[in-house]
Structure 1
Amino acid sequence: MDLKSGNFTYNFKQNQIPFKKIILLNASMAGYISELGAENLIVGISSPEYIYSEKIQNMIREGKIQNVGSDQKYDVEKIISLKPDAIFTNHIASFDNTYELLKNNGIQVVFLDEYMEQQPLDKTAYIKLFGELLAKEKEADTKFQEIEKNYNELKQLALTAKEKPVVLANEMYGDIWYLPGGNTSVAHYIADANASYILKDNKDEKALTMGFEEVYAKSGGVQYWVNAGNHASKSEMLKMNGFYGKLDVFNKGKIYTISGKERQKANDFFESGAVRADLILKDYIKIFHPELLPNYQLTYMKELQ
């Protein structure tokens, strides 16, 4: 079986798959495993405090899943002693020595670049890859088709809206506003929810760095501000950055954070949200066109008061 993810290509032989014991080094990957109902294949996880899934947390408490360190330092001895068939992770160049050591111990290290996918459903499609590697093809195909169908129906629903509001995204870190490029997943979600993102004509797949004045100049007429970090309130936001008070949208519009499903350090937006593109789109449609989804409660987003 051939597998391609970003810069990585693999060829697994029949006798190598399906994997029966896996270790996850990223919370986002837990989202795919949970959607497949394959939690029982996980023997180890890094930085478990970032995992939102109640089921996985219970398995950690029961000792069925071990904590194998964090991206500051992985517990290599523990990983080797767990004898996993495979480890799933995003590639971090500074860990190349660790990866080599694991490979030399007969462990398959699978690097995935799912976070680089900018089309929402392309990110969801990684569930099919996990399906093939874990002998859950049928479940994965069913799940993908269901999410894809929901997504496309929601996209059609959004087109029936009367208004097309103007939207601002992300927030400042220090002096810099990291504004998602016009070809990023955030921009695609906003477009699919039938709203107008202030950088919609931009072609970048990464965030652009801007100073406050630049963003201010582009933010006239903005009615909604989304993905505004995970602040607790508008006043707390203003304490962190007084400039925000100059924005019309701060004073007259609506602001949403991605903290609708948080538990301590864990945020389900980065876990199940990696797969459930349909629910993320549904949230944005509910925000921009509440009349289209009168009975729906937001899943991952939360309005700031």
Structure 2
Amino acid sequence: MKAKFLLVITFFLLINCKREQKNSFSEWEKISERVQFKANDGKIDLKSGNFTYQFDKNKVPFQKIILLNASLMGYVTELEAENLVIGIASPEYIYSEKIQSLLASGKIQNVGNEQKYDVEKIISMKPDAIFTNYIASFDNTYQLLKNNNIQVIFLDEYLEQSPMVKTSYIKLLGKLLGKEKEADSKFNEIQKNYNDLKELALKSNKKPNVLANEMYGDVWYMPGGKTFTANYISDANAHYILKDNKEEKAVTMSFEEVYSKSKNIQFWVNAGNHLSKKEMLSINPFYGKLEVFNKGKIYGVSGREKQKANDFFESGVVRSDLVLKDYIKIFHPELLPDYQLTYMKELR
């Protein structure tokens, strides 16, 4: 009897140990196929593309960071974590007024541009981490920074083609910057808004035909059918010209190819940041041959722009709900009668 009692006690002890062990190790939180992270006993493990990281509990959350991409700034400003930024590259491309104010006061330093970073300055600033998209041509620079014990974290959010997946990077930044609750709250808010807007768009019985992007030189870089632009157009209940295409990147087309597919197009979106249709014609007279140019409506992404800075590529990366709302307002204005466009602007 005593042996049986001890066996039962041992069994429950083993079960409890297993439960405690399971609870001390969290599951991977999957942002996308490219990015996932988890917390283990205060440490944070991160997989981002081909790179893996482990941050000790005494190193996170980061208190001093440098950003080398304007798009990553969108997450920081949405989390109201601007005070953690000590340096940025190419500040002329940053739209945020608060960041520009911190630059003017010297609390944030300019650390170079996309051609050349000021490595000595970065090292002297002793950041806890640098966040950037990975660019192979900067491998030597990255290695030099790592050799000086500076953590370089590669986050290639621009490769993601789902609008809400791009938004979900805010959860990772929240974890690394000590803003986890704020990040979860903001993500849930944006996700609910996005889903509600998708449902709203379906209430329209119209499904207009849509053309996107513009020409650079002799090539029209049309978004592939699986890109985030195509996904936005689909979620806004419109018919994209290349919706059956399977590419997750831009498809190169000649003007003639686009022209042959552009009959009965009502809307042309993401037509650069031009000021007017006249300006577009001065750059490319062929645009005047398109039916949509003469009879449809054209929208660029210059709704929130100051000189070289464009908020569509900053906060717009995170606020997928507002981007979708713009598209719905464009394609189905009757569904949002009182809404004014945020990032888009009609060209006349």
Q: Same fold (TM over 0.5)?
A: yes
Deviation at 1:268, TM superposition (A): 0.2
* Aligned counterpart, 1:2: 45
The TM-score, its normalising length taken from structure 2, stands at 0.87
For 1:270, give the aligned amino acid: F
Q: Structure 1: which 5+ runs fail to align?
A: none
2:330 is aligned to: 287
Distance in structure 2 (CA, Å) of the matches to 1:4 and 1:210: 35
CA distance in 2, matches of 1:248, 1:200: 20
Pair 1:185-2:228 in alignment:
yes
**C-alpha root-mean-square deviation of aligned residues, in Å?**
0.7
Counterpart in 1 of 2:29?
Answer: none
**Paired position in structure 1 for 2:103:** 60
**How many percent identity over aligned positions?**
75
Which residue matches 1:199? 242
**Structure 1 residue 29: Cα displacement:** 0.7
Task: Work out the CA distance in 2 between the residues paired with 1:302 and 1:8.
Answer: 39
Alignment gaps of 5+ in structure 2 = 1-43
Shift of 1:106: 1.0
Using the alignment, how far apart are the partners of 1:58 and 1:32 within structure 2?
18
| AA in 1 matched with 2:127 | P
Matched, 1:32 2:86: no
Aligned length: 305
Q: What are the residue-to-residue correspondences of 1:220-259 with 2, within 5 Å?
A: 220-259=263-302
State how 1:79-90 maps to structure 2 within 5 Å: 79-90=122-133
Q: State whether residues 76 and 98 of structure 1, in contact with CA within 8 Å, keep that contact through their aligned partners in structure 2.
A: yes
2:59 is the alignment partner of 1:16:
yes
Please state how far the C-alpha of 1:94 moved relative to its aligned partner. Answer: 1.0
Q: Report what 2:214 is aligned to.
A: 171
SS of the aligned residue for 1:125 comes to: helix
Matches within 5 A, 1:259-298: 259-298=302-341
Counterparts of 2:222 and 2:270, CA distance in 1: 10
CA-to-aligned-CA distance 1:72-100 (integer Å, 9 cap, x gap): 11011110111100000001111111111
Structure with more contact order per residue of length (Cα contacts < 8 Å, sep ≥ 6)? 1
Matched AA of 1:147: I
Return the TM-score normalized by structure 1: 0.99
Conserved 8 A contact 1:181-1:204: yes
Give CA deviations for 1:15-67 in whole Å, capped at 9, x if unaligned: 22111000000001110000000000000000000000000000000000000
Moved over 6 A (4+): none
CA distance in 2, matches of 1:207, 1:8: 25
